[in-house]
Each structure stands twice: as C-alpha cells, then as structure tokens.
C-alpha cells in the first residue's frame, strides 16, 4: 500500500504542476477565463434544479446526488487548504522580515504545528490532541466570544435611549423580553400594582414573540428569501460574477 500511496502523491504533484503550467500558458484566453467557468456554473445549477424534478426511485436521481455530493465535498476540502497555506506563508514572511509583532507569529506557528503533528499522528482519539482541544482551544474560543457580553452591556447602557416613539417601542420590547425570560422577572412583576396580578410577564413576552416577532421575522424571511433566489438566478445566468475575484 505504501507503494501505491507514493504513486498517488507523485501523481497529484505532477497533476498540479501540469495544471499550473497550463494555467500560465493559457492565461490570456478569454474563452477559458470567462465563458467556460460561467458555463460550468450554469450547467451545475441546472442539473441540480433538474434533479429536484426526478422521482427519488429513478437511478438517475441517485447518480446525480452521489456525484454532486462527492464533487462538492472534495472541492470544499481543497478550498480549506488554501486558507491554511496563505496563513502559514503570511506568518513565515512576518517572521523573516521582522514585521511588527513578529514574535506572536512564532506563537501562532508553534500552535499550528504542534496541533497538526499530534492530530495527524493519532487522529481524533489521541490524548495530546484531546488535551490541546479541551484545555486550549475550548477555553480560548469560548472566552473570546464571551467578551462580547461586556460590550453588549456597555452598548445597552450607552445606546439604548428612548429618543423617539420607535426607539421607545424597541426598548420596551427588549426590557419585557429580558424580564420574561428569567424567573426573577416574574417574581418582580407580580409586585407591580394592578397589572402584576392579571398576567405574568413571561406570558407577555411569549405573546410578543408569538405574534409580533413571528410577523416581523416572517416579513424579513420572505424578503431575504426572495432576494436570495433572485441573486441565485443572477449567478446562474452569469450576470453576477463577483465570485470571480476583483479584476473583472
């Protein structure tokens, strides 16, 4: 099997070199650069739409499903590799040219290579990999995101002012929901004279969500979905091609 794996690696390297060579020689061809990728996109989209109209029992359905899923999975996996290549080269450059904060780039690369080494060696069952994930990745990521709590608090303090009728409505809805989603809110609510006895603030919050928020969210969902569909058509028909990059 080692022989075969070696062959596979050489095969892909040769393939890649050939691709780069072809890419460099044919780079001026407008047909290849522009028209063919658009045709590719159109073809792919039409096939997928067509597939929705085939009954699942039909063998053609299965073939299209199988093939398209495999293609997308393999291409997306390679797409992740580019991000990693650019991250690593960028940080190597930073170190070799002694840019500002280059010392931290060393930390980054160290983290990258250590994680990669243990991960590739033992897979996801390795003790060292587990250690890195549980005691470094998890705390760092969750702490990064939890910092936002402080900024949300500070934003609520600074920006949440009843300046107009609309702003007051926004503020009131927010306060009722915040009260209604914690039990302490219901307790405090029951001390409010008159209304406190008639209904609970958590019921009020649920009613707001069930009626107004559902209506508002549905309006947003409908608008966004129609926009999404229109954008998808534009992409398939080659009108929208910003995914090509900046030069076109």
Residue 139: CB minimum distance to other proteins, A: 4
Q: Within positions 225 to 244, which residues make up the interface with other proteins, using CB under 8 A?
A: 225-226, 228-229, 231-233, 235-236, 243-244
Q: How many residues does the chain have?
A: 248
Q: Does 36 bind other proteins (CB under 8 A)?
A: yes
Q: Does 78 bind other proteins (CB under 8 A)?
A: yes
Q: Does 209 bind other proteins (CB under 8 A)?
A: yes
Distances (CA, A) of 107 to 101, 110, 187, 221: 11, 5, 50, 43
Q: Where are the alpha helices (DSSP H) in 97-123?
A: 102-122
Q: Does 194 bind other proteins (CB under 8 A)?
A: no
Residue 242: CB minimum distance to other proteins, A: 10
When the beta carbons of 61 and 196 are compared against other proteins, the nearer one is 61
Q: Does 190 bind other proteins (CB under 8 A)?
A: no
Q: Does 42 bind other proteins (CB under 8 A)?
A: yes
d(CA 91, CA 118): 21
Q: Does 201 bind other proteins (CB under 8 A)?
A: no
d(CA 35, CA 247): 15
| Of positions 23, 96, 190, 195, contacts other proteins by CB under 8 A | 23
- The pair phi, psi for residue 18, each rounded to 5°, is -60, -40
Question: Is 201 within 8 Å of 176 (Cβ atoms)?
Answer: yes
Contacts with 209 (C-beta within 8 Å, 6 or more apart), sequence order: 177
| Of positions 60, 96, 99, 182, contacts other proteins by CB under 8 A | 182
Q: Does 19 bind other proteins (CB under 8 A)?
A: yes
When the beta carbons of 48 and 197 are compared against other proteins, the nearer one is 48
* Per-residue tokens: 99: 């840019």
- Binding mask 135-174 toward other proteins (x if CB under 8 A, else -) reads xxxxxxxxxxxxxxxx-xxx-xxx-xxx---xx-xxxxxx
Q: Does 204 bind other proteins (CB under 8 A)?
A: no
Q: Does 245 bind other proteins (CB under 8 A)?
A: yes
Question: Is 189 within 8 Å of 196 (Cβ atoms)?
Answer: yes
Question: Is 115 within 8 Å of 132 (Cβ atoms)?
Answer: yes
Question: Is 128 within 8 Å of 122 (Cβ atoms)?
Answer: yes
Q: Does 192 bind other proteins (CB under 8 A)?
A: no
Q: Does 196 bind other proteins (CB under 8 A)?
A: no
């Amino acid at each position: 099997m080692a022989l075969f794996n070696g062959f596979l690696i050489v095969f892909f390297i040769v393939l890649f070199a050939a691709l780069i060579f072809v890419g460099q020689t044919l780079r001026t061809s407008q047909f290849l650069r522009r028209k063919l990728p658009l045709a590719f996109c159109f073809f792919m989209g039409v096939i997928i739409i067509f597939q929705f109209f085939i009954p699942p029992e039909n063998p053609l359905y299965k073939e299209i499903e199988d093939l398209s899923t495999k293609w997308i999975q393999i291409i997306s996996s390679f797409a992740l590799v580019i991000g990693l290549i650019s991250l690593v080269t960028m940080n190597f450059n930073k170190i070799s040219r002694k840019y500002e904060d280059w010392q931290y780039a060393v930390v980054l690369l160290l983290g990258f290579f250590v994680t990669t080494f243990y991960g590739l060696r033992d897979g996801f069952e390795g003790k060292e990999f587990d250690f890195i994930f549980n005691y470094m990745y998890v705390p760092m990521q969750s702490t990064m995101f939890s910092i936002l709590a402080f900024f949300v608090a500070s934003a609520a303090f600074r920006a949440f002012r009843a300046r107009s009728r609309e702003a007051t409505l926004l503020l009131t809805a927010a306060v009722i929901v915040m009260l209604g989603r914690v039990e302490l809110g219901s307790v405090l609510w029951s001390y409010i004279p008159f209304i406190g006895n008639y209904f609970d603030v958590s019921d009020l919050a649920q009613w707001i969500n069930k009626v107004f928020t559902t209506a508002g969210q549905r309006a947003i969902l409908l608008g966004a979905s129609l926009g999404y569909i229109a954008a998808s058509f534009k992409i398939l028909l080659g009108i929208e091609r910003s995914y090509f990059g900046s030069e076109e």
